[in-house]
Chain A
Amino acid sequence: MANQNEADRLQQETAFQKLIRRPEIGSFVVMIIIIVALAIASEGKSFNALGLKNNIAIIAQYGIIATGAAVLMISGEFDLSIGSMIGFAGMSMAMMLKWGLPFGLGEATPFTAFIITLAMTLALGWVIGTVVVRSGLSSFIVTLAFLFFLRGVTEVSFRLINKSTQISGLPDYKETSWFADILGGDVFGWFYDLWFMLGGNLNRRGEQWVEGFDARFLWWLVIAGIAYFILSRTQIGNWIYATGDNKEAARANGVPVNRVKIGLFMFTAFCATMFAACQVFDTNTSDAAKGNLMELFAIAIAVVGGTLMTGGFGSVIGVVFGAITVGLVANAVFFIPAIDGAWFRVFLGGILLAAVFANERIRKRITGGI
Chain B
Amino acid sequence: MAEPYLKVEKLVKRFGPFTALGGVDLEVYPGEVHALLGDNGAGKSTLIKTLAGVHQPTEGNILIEGKPVNFRSPRDASDAGIGTVYQDLALNQLMSVTRNFFMGRELKGPLGTLRMDEMNQIAHDEMLKIGIDFSDPTQAVGTMSGGQRQTLAIARAIHFGAKVLILDEPTSALGQKQQMGVLKTIKRVRARGDIAIIFITHNEIHSRLVGDRFTFLALGKVIGAGKAAEIGDEEMRRLMSGGAEMGDLEQELAAI
Contacts and interface: CB of A to CB of B under 8 A. Distances in A.
A309 to B, nearest CB: 13
B106 A246 contact: no
A241 B148 contact: no
B112 A363 contact: no
A10 B134 CA distance: 10
Contacts of B144: 368
Q: Is the interface of B mostly helix, strand, loop or mixed?
A: loop
Contact of A234 (B89, B103, B114): B114
B114 A233 contact: yes
A367 B149 CA distance: 13
B147 A6 contact: yes
A136 interface: no
A238 interface: yes
Interface stretch (A35-43, A59-67, A189-197, A250-258): A250-258
A308 B144 CA distance: 21
A239 to B, nearest CB: 7
Given A245-B95, A368-B142, A252 B108 contact: no
A305 to B, nearest CB: 16
Interface string B158-170: 0000000000000
A107 interface: no
Given A6-B145, A248-B90, A242 B140 contact: no
A355 B89 CA distance: 31
Interface in B62-106: 74-75, 86, 88-95, 99, 102-106
B177 to A, nearest CB: 9
A235 B114 contact: yes
A366 B89 CA distance: 18
B172 interface: no
A313 interface: yes
A313 B94 contact: yes
A312 interface: yes
A62 to B, nearest CB: 26
B104 A255 contact: yes
B81 to A, nearest CB: 15
B180 to A, nearest CB: 12
B94 A366 contact: yes
B131 to A, nearest CB: 9
B140 A367 contact: yes
Contacts of B132: 5-7
A102 B84 CA distance: 55
A2 interface: no
A366 B92 contact: no
Contacts of A367: 93-94, 140, 142-143
Interface in B140-156: 140, 142-145, 147-148
A253 B95 contact: no
Interface string B124-148: 0000000011111001101111011
B119 to A, nearest CB: 10
A227 B113 CA distance: 13
A32 interface: no
Contacts of A141: none
A115 B88 CA distance: 46
B49 to A, nearest CB: 12
B74 to A, nearest CB: 7
Interface in A90-123: none
Contacts of B91: 246, 249
Interface in A251-282: 252-255
Nearest to B111: A234
A370 interface: yes
Give the 6 A-B CB pairs with smallest separation, nearest first: A367-B142, A254-B104, A245-B92, A253-B104, A249-B90, A252-B90
Interface of B: 74-75, 86, 88-95, 99, 102-106, 108, 111-114, 116, 132-136, 139-140, 142-145, 147-148
15 contacts: A234-B108, A234-B111, A241-B92, A241-B94, A241-B95, A246-B90, A249-B88, A252-B74, A252-B86, A252-B90, A255-B103, A366-B140, A366-B142, A367-B93, A370-B142
Given A238-B114, A254-B103, A367-B94, 11 more contacts: A234-B108, A234-B114, A235-B106, A235-B108, A238-B103, A239-B104, A241-B95, A246-B92, A249-B92, A366-B93, A367-B140
